[in-house]
Amino acid sequence: MYWNRNAAHRRRGVPARIATALTAGALLLTATGVLAGCGKKLPDSAEEKFPISQEDLPQNVSPVQALTRPQLLNFTGAEEAQIAPSVPAYTVAPGLSNVVNTDQFYLSDDALNRLENNLFVVTNSFGHEFFEVYENNRYNLIPNFVTVDSMMHTYHLYFSLLMNRTEKTYLSDSLLSLSKGMLQSSMAQYDALKGSPWEEAARRNVAFFAVAAVLQDPSVQIPGYAADLAETEVERINAAAAIDTCGISEINMDYTQFIPRGYYEGDETLERYFRAMMWYGQVNFSQEQEDMSRSALLMTLAMADGNLPAWEMIYTVTSFFAGASDDLNYYDYEPAIEAAYGGLPAAAELPGNDQAFEHYVDTIAAMEPPAINSVPVWDGTEDIQELTKGFRFMGQRFTIDAAIMQKLVYSNVKENGAGDKRMLPDVLDVPAAMGSDRALELLTQQGAAEYKGFTENMDRLRSTIAQAPVSAWNTSLYSSWLYTLKPLLEVKGEGYPSFMTSQAWQQKNLETFAGSFTELKHDTVLYAKQVMAEMGGGPIDEVDDRGYVEPEPEVFRRFYLLAQQTAESLDGYGLITSEDRENLSRLAQLARQLQTISEKELRDETLTDEEYELIRTYGGTLEHFWIEAVKDKAENDYLATQEIPASLVTDIATDPNGTVLQIANAMPQEIVVVVPVDGTLRLASGAVYDFYQFTWPMEQRLTDTQWRQMIGEWAGSDGNYNWEGRDSLVKPAWTETYRSDS
């Protein structure tokens, strides 16, 4: 019996609102540096129209068109406003004598010197949450400085909340049902193929789905013929201790990736979901081994046999948050099977049909390899892309930042003159590739350009990203988040407030980018594919406390679109409560108001009383959003910021020789800025990220709890606080020019 794609409703079971959504495939930055969407390439140059030339395709095989992916998000928004900044340049006199409110601040000589030089300084004053600085200012009649950092952090709170609720309420049970359904279908295939050359592929699939099912429900019974294979994998996953050869894929796998971290840590349901989804994202059925391609074919048939609706719902919803898969999956293999067999065959009809199988193998061989390598491979391995090309049941997601970093580590870049290899990226790689000249200068100062091929790869990345259409950034919340941050990387010149025109401010903006990027990676640690190198209210007084908004109108415009689309899309598909939708809409409107204020500031206009009041009460507004976003995590009715702080940590890249790159935010810190308000200069205060980057043993990938104990924010297992923890941390050197430790 053969099934035809036109007869098999490949949208069946998916909510109707999802099935009828806009279906433009996510644009991918491939390892060749060109942009692609839904299997079609956009040319980067005449010589490089396709990463695989027509001559490279098997002579008797025509490429097949991948199935269209359903997509929940696809917006471009209105064109950005064109504003000619016209703020008169200003300077401060020695001792800040021309600044009206210095008596409100207790600043060290070092901090005062930095204020004189840069017109801003980040102090070591901190709290557990961003709104605390602003509320303290309101009570003490200190002008507020509304930062991009504080708004991006608030979006992170809702992004994390919505992902958490969606996974726990909708996806966790669906994933377990899917695993059990695929297990039953795979067992039926095994019974039909026992004694044939397809038996081992069928047994492998039974073990594969048994592992996922057991990870979520330990009571699931594993068939005896697959028990040894499955039980070994479950033990390795739960141990999460090292790189080892996976019994299913028969290639290396990094089992330390199975350490539950991010917001999954500590919640039993989410920890089980994390391990099962990580399993589905990590195991690759490589095209290098013919029997693995048999497993992939059988899996695709099993999905079409009633399991596709559940799979597609999970894939579509997670893609909305984190992006499209970087690996080949059902959407790619199903049309290849149809092209080879003339339809979808029953499992029992596969043995003996060698010609069709060979056609199928040739067809999938012509497909594109993944852009990001997440598989440990030995130094010197040739053609890594083809080696890692294969089928993943629920592959981890392509992200622009991971594709950038993959091109800038070994072996895409070679050794430097000393024979060292760039085994881990730097967080500055991402803003540098996205257009920040200052980030690139800092990387060069750190020696990155000494690695052979780094400069060439970086130049190509910068050119490609600069030419990317807006639609390339707005196909998932993940990429839209990066797009929102992108204007921070632009140099602010004449007409901008003087505090924004220095090199120090460019570096401060890099820390804002890095801090928000840390929250993004933390929230998507399960889904985003990780780079792998090769082995080797106070009293009212007559005090002028009018404040200032960091004038980044384009950031706030994009933030408005991001928050509004998050609310509208999730509401349209029944995945958000009316309360959360209302809060996100209010957050979007706040961003719109901040955009308007920013535009007026850049035109050197005096704000209205209502706008100054919005800045004055900004802390209370943030506190409301914080309470609404974290109240489910509180152990009692009283919410303490120390109980649910802003600090967090995540890992973003792995050196398979034993280390990972950790990025982290400690407690928010205070920024003091000299701002012009209605013809006077004054100091205004706000909250910014406190970003860190460091290497760490891969088998000890840090959780938020461990990080908070390291920095002395939470007590350790012995009940003591590590008060000296923060002093032992080393911040990136490029943050030193605008920070004061006093």
Q: What is the pLDDT of residue 385?
A: 54
Give the span between the Cα atoms of 72 and 166, in whole angstroms: 14
Lookup: tokens for 444:
């060069």
Q: What is the pLDDT of residue 42?
A: 26
Give the span between the Cα atoms of 281 and 327, in whole angstroms: 9
pLDDT digits (tens, 9 = 90+) for 103-152: 999 999 999 999 999 999 999 888 999 999 999 999 999 999 999 999 99
The DSSP line for 79-106 is PPP-----PPP----GGGTTBTTGGG--
Q: What is the pLDDT of residue 13?
A: 37
Q: What is the pLDDT of residue 539?
A: 41
Q: What is the pLDDT of residue 379?
A: 52
Q: What is the pLDDT of residue 668?
A: 97
Give the span between the Cα atoms of 16 and 171, in whole angstroms: 17
Nearest C-alpha neighbor of 404 from the set 329, 482, 480, 471: 482
User: Angle between the 268-282 and 199-216 helix axes, to the nearest 10 degrees?
Assistant: 160
Q: Are 711 and 666 in contact (CB under 8 A)?
A: yes
Q: What is the pLDDT of residue 533?
A: 65
Nearest C-alpha neighbor of 96 from the set 674, 615, 668: 674
β strands within 479-588, DSSP E:
531-532, 548-549
Identity of the residue numbered 293: S
Identity of the residue numbered 561: L
Identity of the residue numbered 411: S
Residue 695: exposed, middle, or buried by beta-carbon count in 10 A (0-12, 13-18, 19+)? Answer: middle
Nearest C-alpha neighbor of 153 from the set 513, 634, 444: 513
Below-70 pLDDT ranges, the chain: 1-62, 70-79, 81, 372-387, 531-542, 742
Q: What is the pLDDT of residue 373?
A: 56
pLDDT digits (tens, 9 = 90+) for 314-337: 999 999 999 888 889 999 999 999
* Domain residue ranges in the chain: 2-72+160-397, 94-144+476-523+545-738, 398-465
β strands within 91-149, DSSP E:
120-126, 145-146
Lookup: tokens for 477:
């919340």
Q: What is the pLDDT of residue 664?
A: 98
Residue 239 has φ and ψ, to the nearest 5°, of: -75, -35
Nearest C-alpha neighbor of 713 from the set 732, 690, 685, 736: 690
Q: Are 642 and 713 in contact (CB under 8 A)?
A: yes
Lookup: tokens for 481:
């988040």
Q: What is the pLDDT of residue 569?
A: 87
User: Angle between the 199-216 and 172-193 helix axes, to the nearest 10 degrees?
Assistant: 160
* Share in percent of the chain as helix, strand, coil (round to 5): 50, 10, 40
Residue 591: exposed, middle, or buried by beta-carbon count in 10 A (0-12, 13-18, 19+)? Answer: buried
